[in-house]
Amino acid sequence: MTQQQMAAAASPGPCLVLGGKTGMLGQALMTALAKAGHTAVAQGREDVDLTSRDALTAYLEAVKPGVVFNAVAYTQVDKAEDEPDDAARLNKTLPENLARLSAAMGFKLVHFSTDFVFDGKGQEPYEVDDPTGPLSVYGRTKLAGEQAIRSVNPPGWIICRTAWLFGPGRKNFITTILNLCRSRDTVNVVDDQIGSPTYTVDLALHAVQLLDAGASGLFHVVNAGEASWCELATEAVRLTGLPCKISPIPTSGYPTKAARPAWSVLSTAAFTAATGVTPRPWAKALRDYIFKDLQDFLEPQASRN
Ligand SMILES: NC(=O)c1ccc[n+]([C@@H]2O[C@H](COP(=O)([O-])OP(=O)(O)OC[C@H]3O[C@@H](n4cnc5c(N)ncnc54)[C@H](OP(=O)(O)O)[C@@H]3O)[C@@H](O)[C@H]2O)c1
- Tens digit of pLDDT for each residue in 120-160? 998 899 999 999 999 999 999 999 999 999 999 999 999 99
Closest Cα to atom 2, ligand 1: which residue? 165
Q: Which atom of ligand 1 is nearest to the CA of 170?
A: 19
DSSP string, 124-180: SPBPTTSPP---SHHHHHHHHHHHHHHHH--TT-EEEEE-SEE-TTS--HHHHHHHH
First to last CA, the chain: 61
Ligand 1 centroid–CA 54 distance in Å is: 22
Backbone φ and ψ of 199, nearest 5°: -85, 125
- At 304 the pLDDT is 56
Mean per-residue pLDDT for 177-196?
A: 96
What separation in Å is there between the alpha carbon of 302 and the centre of ligand 1?
31
Provide the mean pLDDT of the chain. 94
CATH superfamily of 3-170+198-225+264-281: NAD(P)-binding Rossmann-like Domain (3.40.50.720)
CA dist., res. 33 & res. 292, Å (int): 19
Determine which residue's CA is closest to atom 33 belonging to ligand 1. Answer: 45
Q: Check residue 11 and give its pLDDT.
A: 56
Confidence of residue 9 (pLDDT cuts 50, 70, 90): very low
* 21 contact partners, CB below 8 Å, separation of at least 6: 27, 42, 43, 44
Whether residue 1 has pLDDT greater than 60: no
**Is the pLDDT assigned to residue 295 strictly greater than 90?**
no
Of the pLDDT bands very low, low, confident and very high (cuts 50, 70, 90), residue 109 is: very high
Instruction: For the chain, give the percent of residues with pLDDT over 90.
Output: 92
Does residue 167 come out as left (phi exceeding 0), alpha (psi in the -120 to 50 range) or beta? Answer: left
Instruction: Give the residue whose CA is nearest to atom 39 of ligand 1.
Output: 22
Give the pLDDT of residue 6.
Answer: 46
Residues with CB under 6 A from ligand 1: 19, 22-26, 45, 50, 71-75, 90, 112, 114, 142, 162-165, 170
Which residue's CA lies nearest to atom 18 of ligand 1?
23
pTM: 0.95
The domain locations on the chain are 3-170+198-225+264-281
**pLDDT for 32 beyond 60:** yes
Catalytic sites, residue numbers: 138
| Shortest-distance atom of ligand 1 to CA 172 | 1
* Closest residue by Cα to residue 292 from 15, 31, 69, 18: 31
- CA dist 33 to 18, 41, 73, 202, Å? 13, 10, 20, 12
pLDDT at 264 over 70: yes
> Which atom of ligand 1 approaches the CA of 86 most closely?
31
Q: Residue 10: pLDDT above 80?
A: no
Confidence of residue 3 (pLDDT cuts 50, 70, 90): very low
pLDDT in tens, 204-237: 999 999 999 999 999 999 999 999 999 999 999 9
164 CA: nearest ligand 1 atom: 3
Hey, which of 43, 53, 75 would you mutate to test ligand 1's pocket, going by the most ligand atoms within 8 Å of its Cβ?
Answer: 75
Q: What is the pLDDT of residues 165-180, one digit of tens each?
A: 999 999 999 999 999 9
Supply the Cα-derived Rg of the chain in whole angstroms. Answer: 20
Portion of the chain with pLDDT greater than 70, in percent:
94
Task: Compute, in angstroms, the gap from residue 111 CA to the centroid of ligand 1.
Answer: 12
Q: Find all residues with CB under 8 Å of 239, minimum gap 6, and list them.
A: 286, 287, 290, 291, 302, 303
| Residue 302: band (very low, low, confident or very high) from pLDDT cuts 50, 70, 90 | low
Q: Which of 17, 22, 25 to mutate to test the pocket of ligand 1 (most atoms within 8 A of CB)?
A: 25
